[in-house]
Chains A and B, each alone.
Chain A
Amino acid sequence: SYELTQSPSVSVSPGQTASITCSGDNLGNKYAYWYQQKPGQSPILVIYQDKKRPSGIPERFSGSNSGNTATLTISGTQAMDEADYYCQAWDSSTAVFGGGTKLTVL
């Protein structure tokens, strides 16, 4: 079965750039999606189709996807961005999620 792998944690200082990666076999041939989840809340879509931002998501969130790796980049990270982030892709008719990356803003 298809798997997506994320680093468990990433730390960043306020105002700096955070990069969160997601690896999967030939992931660049699929669309990657990214979700933000804060404690006790439902996931929120922050990036779709590799690099598009839904309405209401700040411009500091961006995405890319090539080869075996998709990357979520948060520029000028703010304290409010501290959360768990999950990548997702479709493998045939099955949605696959990564295990998540906890972003800490120190």
Chain B
Amino acid sequence: DVQLVETGGGLIQPGGSLRLSCAASGLAVSGNYMNWVRQAPGKGPEWVSVIYKEGSASYAESVRGRFTISRDNSKNTLHLEMKSLRVDDTAVYYCARDTRATGGFGAFDLWGQGTVVTVSS
């Protein structure tokens, strides 16, 4: 089975840091465009970041300079390092594959179950 499993969420104070992980099975993170997408309570999804097959990355303006996406090919795991966290970063964070690496045009066709990040004092 193809599966993505996120971990690392929790309650963190404003200004703090947190590292999210996404363990993949049935697919290689290094061979796909892997994304982080977040969803604040009662809101629509918001794209956060992508890491491309060759290793470069792109970020939403709202997180650029504070968040860093990376991957560990040996553990087939995606990470999101989050610093200087703000109250409005509170959300469920999903890792998701998009189809651009395999000939598609960018559908998010595989999602994890999400991990909850709450930024509050």
Contact = CB atoms under 8 A, between A and B. Distances in A.
Interface residues of A, number: 22
B47 A43 contact: no
Interface in B90-105: 94, 98-99, 104-105
Contacts, number: 58
A88 B45 CA distance: 9
Size class of the B contact interface (CB-based, 8 Å): 20 to 34
Interface string A87-101: 010100111111110
A33 B35 CA distance: 16
A94 to B, nearest CB: 6
13 contacts: A31-B105, A33-B106, A33-B108, A43-B45, A44-B111, A45-B108, A48-B107, A93-B50, A93-B58, A95-B37, A97-B44, A98-B44, A100-B43
Interface of A: 1, 31, 33, 35, 42-45, 48-49, 54, 86, 88, 90, 93-100
